[in-house]
Amino acid sequence: MAMNTTKPALLISACLLGQPVRYDGQAKGQTPQQLVALTTHFQLIPTCPECAGGLPVPRPPAEISGGDGSDVWQGTAKVMTADGQDLTTAFTNGAEHSLDLAQQHGCQLALLKANSPSCGNRQIYDGSFTAQLQPGEGVCSSLLRQHNIRIFNEEEISTLLETAGRKT
Ligand code: SF4
């Protein structure tokens, strides 16, 4: 049976591939089975927007204050640490770097870490540093979405694979 050997490019949060780039120096790698499925079906393009924005590992946890990622791009919300450090510029710079990378590789799909102030696609923490989630998207997810890149999180890998299956 003839197979389509062209794999679509998938932008992916580096921490989901096991890279220890999270604020606490940890990773959130997926199961070997999931990684095999992803590498079978996609050309993986890893990115960590917070590292790309110049932030170190480890780094203080940050949350969006005053809205979500789309509000950050509109200038009505900021990314702050619990002790009041404004990291908005690093987050937006890193998001722009990740968008450039995605566009260079022709990514139309992204698999990004849920709940992150950069990568979250459906929920983010509410800015109170009390572990409360609220509906919203992260800074990088918002920018990618505005450029027509469809975003999935690690709980949505099966849907992502189905979507890619229909596309190839
Ligand atoms: Fe993972 Fe995104 Fe946070 Fe980087 S910014 S550690 S890729 S969730």
The model's pLDDT over 105-152, given as tens digits with 9 standing for 90+, comes to: 999 999 999 999 999 999 999 999 999 999 999 999 999 999 999 999
Q: How far is residue 120's CA from residue 138's CA, in Å, rounded to a whole number? A: 5
Q: Running DSSP on this structure, what letter comes out for residue 86?
A: B
Per-residue burial over 42-55, b if 16 or more Cβ lie within 10 Å, else e, is bebbbbbbbbbbeb
Q: Which ligand 1 atom minimizes the distance to the CA of 14?
A: 7
pTM: 0.95
| Segment 44-71 mean pLDDT | 98
Total number of domains in the chain? 1
Q: What is the pLDDT of residue 147?
A: 98
Is 36 domain-assigned? Answer: no
Is 41 domain-assigned? Answer: no
Q: How far is residue 30's CA from residue 161's CA, in Å, rounded to a whole number? A: 15
Task: Report the separation in Å between the CA atom of 119 and the middle of ligand 1, taken as the mean of its atom positions.
Answer: 6
Is 92 domain-assigned? Answer: yes
Q: What is the pLDDT of residue 164?
A: 87
Is 28 domain-assigned? Answer: no
For ligand 1, atom 4, which residue shows the shortest CA distance?
Answer: 48
Q: Which ligand 1 atom minimizes the distance to the CA of 22?
A: 6
Is 12 domain-assigned? Answer: no
Q: How far is residue 84's CA from residue 80's CA, in Å, rounded to a whole number? A: 6
Expressed as residue numbers, the domain containing 162 is: 47-167
| Segment 31-57 mean pLDDT | 96
